[in-house]
Structures are given as structure tokens and as C-alpha cells.
Amino acid sequence: MAFRRLDADTKPIPGSRVLCWGRPNTYKTTAIVETAERPIQFLSLPGEKGHETIPAVEGISSHVWEVDDLLSVSPSTVLREVETITAEIISGKHGLFATIAVEGLHKFYDYCYDDALAGLELEDAGRKNPTGTEGLRGPAYGLSHKRVMRYLNKLSASTARNVIVTCWEADRKDDPKDRSKNAPTHKAPALPGQLADAITGEYGASVRSTLKRTPTGVSGIWQILPDPQVQGCAVKVPREIALKLPSKMPQHYGMLKALLAGRSVAEVKEMFPEALTTKHEETKA
């Protein structure tokens, strides 16, 4: 049966479904490796390069897409392979997991779009009065949005205790209709159109990954609450908990869960003292 009743024992823990987005090399992968619950099944989507920082250690399995001749592989083939390996991971075929981490959603979207546009062009070629490629781009985006959302919903509906999805960030216009050169912008996930806004509503937490330089190194920081310049951050918690949350925090999945469960900042600092002192080399991704 697809539907199940949620109670205190079966309700998902706040912070168990996370979208982590930010510029490249802001420790998105590193934070998963170092702080997410193990065992972890990593899936690096086609084109994603962050897998280079995933260690080959017990408790971490990594799945990377490789092909000898990129030009010989169609977008539909790539998408089929992604959906197959994802289903296998969720089913447990590749081993146990407490966390499923899917990296490079922005790369996956590109394949979804290319596949949708190719399909529409094939249909259009058989029409008496073809629309032409430019007229098909809008419908292709719509189809791509839906396919990405269906894929993400399958992940979130899995039995994994934790699901983490990563993507890059981009500057988006505050007013999409403003064509001026200096139009005001804000930071958001690097996904086209309305999907960049809609995707934040699909997760219990949408956090922006950034860096903070210190005298002894570089620390990873998450922004978990939105502001006018960063509108892609969001958390799903009761209002009384949201009012106590800090705007920014160290990159630590255990700490995030504790905060979203209602623990105070002081309590969380005592629970995870290592998160307050963690420093990284600048070469980590």
C-alpha cells in the first residue's frame, strides 16, 4: 500500500529531507561525508564532479556515471540509466543505507530538458505546419520541470532515513520581467524558471552552502533562513521552533536535525562541539 498513516513513531524527522545548494567548492559533498548518518549511498548524477572528494571507506558507497564516448549517448539513455540506478539503490540492491545523497541536480535537469526538446522536435517534424525549435522550448521546460519533480518525489518517498540532494546556485532576478541590465537579483538554486522556487517547498530544509574564512582556515556555513538577497532557503517546522532558529549555522547534518527538532542553540553546541571547531583545507569540494 502506497499510503501509510504517520504517528509519533513513523513521522519523518525534521531535516531528514534536505536540499543543499551553493557555489562549487563550498563543501556540499564534504559536509555529507563528514556529518551525514552512515551508511551512505552516494549517487553522482551524470556530469557531476564532486565525487572526487568522496573517500573509499567503510560505510560509504559511491556510484559514478562513466562513458567512453559522450557524444554516442542520447539524453534518453542517460535518464533511463539514472532512474535504473536510483531504483536499485532505493531497493537496497547495492547495500544498506541510512542516507541517500544525490549530487548534481542541475546537471540532471539539463538531460531532462534535452530529452524533452528532442521528443517535441520529433513530433513537430511530422506536422504539416511545424512550430520550430524556438516555439518548442517553453513546452520543453514544462516537461523537464515535471520530470525532475517526479524524480525527486520518488527519492523523498523512499524508506531512507535521510535523503540529501545537492545543486549549484545562481543569481535570479527579483522580477523576471525586468529586462534592465542592473535588475535586482537574489541567490537561488541553479534551476530554470519556476522550478528554482518550487523545489524549496519539496524539502524539510533547503540550505545554502557558503564559506567563512578564519585566521586558521576556511569553515563551511549553511544559511537556513531566507533574506532579501537569498530567497532559496527554507525550513518546515512549527512557528515556535522557527522563531528560535539562527539564520546561519555550521555545516552539520546532525546539528541541523537537532535545531529543527526544537533544541536550543546552546543545547546543540553542547551536543556537537566538533562542529564549532571544524576547519577545512581550501582544496576540498
Q: How confident is the model at residue 51 (pLDDT cuts 50, 70, 90)?
A: confident
Beta bridge partners of 249: 222
Choice between 8 and 238, residue whose per-residue pLDDT is larger = 238
Percent of the chain with pLDDT over 90: 76
Choice between 14 and 123, residue whose per-residue pLDDT is larger = 123
Q: What's the pLDDT score for residue 6?
A: 67
The full set of domains in the chain, from first to last, is 17-276 (3.40.50)
Of 199, 128, 135, the C-alpha closest to 169 is 199
> What value does the mean pLDDT of the chain take?
91
**Tell me: the pLDDT tens digits for 80-125?**
999 999 999 999 999 999 999 999 999 999 999 999 999 999 999 9
Residue 153 dihedral angles phi and psi, to the nearest 5°: -65, -35
**Tell me: the pLDDT tens digits for 128-155?**
899 999 999 999 999 999 999 999 999 9
213, HSE (Cβ side, Cα atoms, 13 Å):
1
Mean pLDDT score, 269-276 = 87
**Tell me: the pLDDT tens digits for 59-90?**
999 999 988 776 778 999 999 999 999 999 99
| Distance between CA atoms of residues 135 and 142, nearest Å | 13
Residue 280 clears pLDDT 90, i.e. is over it? no
